[in-house]
Amino acid sequence: MNIKYINIYNNLVNLTRNKDLYKNFDKQDTFSDRLIFFLLHFAFFLKIYKKNNEKKILQEIYDYLFKQLELSIREIGYGDQSINKKMKDYLNLFYSMIGKIDDWEQLSLNGKIDILKEFINNSADYHFLVDYFEKYRLNLLNNTLNFYIKGVVKP
């Protein structure tokens, strides 16, 4: 497995660990909540970088990250049959996210909130989350793909 994309994976994991994302949750966050945030970050990442980068590199990043997710799920203790079902569910969720955020810039605040509510049903402050993902999107726009491949960024 090619580890040259480990920094991208680590960046997404670090962003997902941002405690501010979970501070307004109605109840304790779960692995599933963290995975949803991971997938949302990755969806925005692909959305931004698909325009100006080679598809082969993005496909390698995609393959690497989903392989890492599968390994993480195995570490939790799921069996082979459960992992296959979970990965299929997560892939479907991810593709749904990509479809929903494709026109993020053109959406109203309420449209953005509706998208986040569809995937995150534990938060009490969707305005904060919209602002957070807008800042994340702008950060991605202001940095190159190579920036994320070469180093780990602090959230």
> Per residue in 16-47, pLDDT tens?
988 888 888 877 767 788 899 999 999 999 99
**Are the beta carbons of 129 and 21 closer than 8 angstroms?**
yes
Is position 88 within any domain? yes
**Are the beta carbons of 5 and 61 closer than 8 angstroms?**
yes
Is position 155 within any domain? no
**Are the beta carbons of 120 and 33 closer than 8 angstroms?**
yes
Summary mean pLDDT of the chain: 87
pLDDT at residue 2 tops 80: no
Q: Count of domains in the chain?
A: 1
User: pTM to 2 decimals?
Assistant: 0.90
Q: Alpha-carbon Rg of the chain, whole angstroms?
A: 15
pLDDT, average across residues 122-133: 88
Show the domain range for 30. Answer: 6-147
Give the Cβ contact number of residue 137 at 10 Å: 17
Is position 127 within any domain? yes
Is position 152 within any domain? no
Nearest C-alpha neighbor of 73 from the set 60, 58, 89, 86: 86
| pLDDT, greater one: 84 or 16 | 16
Cα 91 → chain centroid:
12
